[in-house]
Amino acid sequence: MGGFVSFVSSGPGDPELLTVKAVARLQAADVVLFDDLSAGPILEHARPDADLIGVGKRAGRASPKQDHVSRVLVDHAQAGLKVVRLKSGDSGMFGRLEEEIIALRAADIPFEIVPGVTAASAAAATAGIPLTRRMTARRVQFITGADVTGELPRDVNMAALADPMATTVVYMGKRTFAGLAARLIEHGLPGHTPALLAEAVSTPAEKVQRFTIGTLARHLESTSSTTPALIFYGPLAEFET
């Protein structure tokens, strides 16, 4: 029997946000290769005899190289095992999914992708806001705040990012947001544009704070934290609490 790989999206952290299909694949897996943010109670759905292998990457920490992760994935599948590659959030959102698919296709290994709740949707739900608004935010854009070097990407479309009629969600952007905010303001986005900082989304440590892009830039410059976070900015709804 040949091996098979399921790319399973674990959601942002709350095990109750796993899909039924994700749970079924975890329960059937011989091997689970998991990201750091997919650890903890989510792994309790795996079989007791499953081999659990941590392959997560975190900024500022020693992490396995991507070619090593892809090699481990291929090796276990070639051994005829049912493999779950457990990725945080939605596996197709800034999760190195493409590199791992390329490795599997090169080895002629079949796979499937199980979609999940991305952190942006969970954070917006926690904040009690919609990502779109009928008159003022007809477009949503998800971007990464860091390229392969960890710096703000040089080739971003600033006209699109400074669009006052779009909701923009920045993944992995805490360290680079001050620089991004300065460029946004240079391209015409007002410094008082609403912003949200959502940290440790859907976990017990979850924290959501409201800022403007100007005050958020100053806040992030004066603080240091390795907590995973998302940044939202644009015409964000504000409701009475």
Residues with catalytic roles: 35, 57, 172
Q: What is the CB-side half-sphere exposure of residue 85 using CA atoms within 13 A?
A: 31
- Within the chain, residue ranges assigned H as helices are 20-28, 66-78, 97-106, 119-127, 158-161, 177-186, 213-222
User: Which of 218, 155, 147, 157 minimizes the C-alpha distance to 182?
Assistant: 218
* Centroid of chain to Cα 8: 13
Radius of gyration of the chain (CA): 19
Could you please report the per-residue DSSP string of 194-228?
EEEEEESTTSTT-EEEEEEHHHHHHHHHH----S-
Centre a 10 Å sphere on the Cβ of residue 113 and count the other Cβ atoms it contains: 17
